[in-house]
Amino acid sequence: AQSVTQPDIHITVSEGASLELRCNYSYGATPLFWYVQSPGQGLQLLLKYFSGDTLVQGIKGFEAEFKRSQSSFNLRKPSVHWSDAAEYFCAVGASSSYKLIFGSGTRLLVRP
C-alpha cells in the first residue's frame, strides 16, 4: 500500500532562517501535496505536484521539489516568518487524488 513518511515530528528554526521539511513516499508517487494547518484551523493547500516541472511553487513563498530517485517531495522556504509556525502535512493521492494518504505531520516552531 502507498505510504507517506515525514521523519521529523518537530522542527524549530529561527525567524529568517531557511527551512526544509522532509517527505518520503512509497511507490505510485503522484499526485503529491503539501498542506498547512494552523492551530485550531482546517487544512490549507500550500502546493501540489501532478507531473511536469519537478520544482513547484506554492503560496506563502513555499516551494517543493519532486525527486523520483530519492522518493522525496521536500518542502522548502528560504526565509521563515513567525507566522509560518504551524503543522505541515505531506500527502499522496492513493490510486486517485480524491483519496489522500497523509504523513503524520511535522510541527514547525519559529524562534524569535
Q: Which residue lies nearer to another protein by CB, 23 or 80?
A: 23
Quickly count: other Cβ atoms within 10 Å of residue 13's Cβ: 17
Asked whether position 58 contacts another protein by CB under 8 A, the answer is: no
Q: Which of 12, 17, 45, 83 binds another protein (CB under 8 A)?
A: 45
Give me the amino acid identity at 32: L
* DSSP calls for 27-60: SS--SEEEEEE-TT--EEEEEEE-SS-SEEE-GG
Q: Does 67 bind another protein (CB under 8 A)?
A: no
Would you tell me which residues interact with another protein (CB under 8 A)? 4, 6, 9, 31, 33, 35, 41-45, 48, 50, 89, 91, 93, 96-105
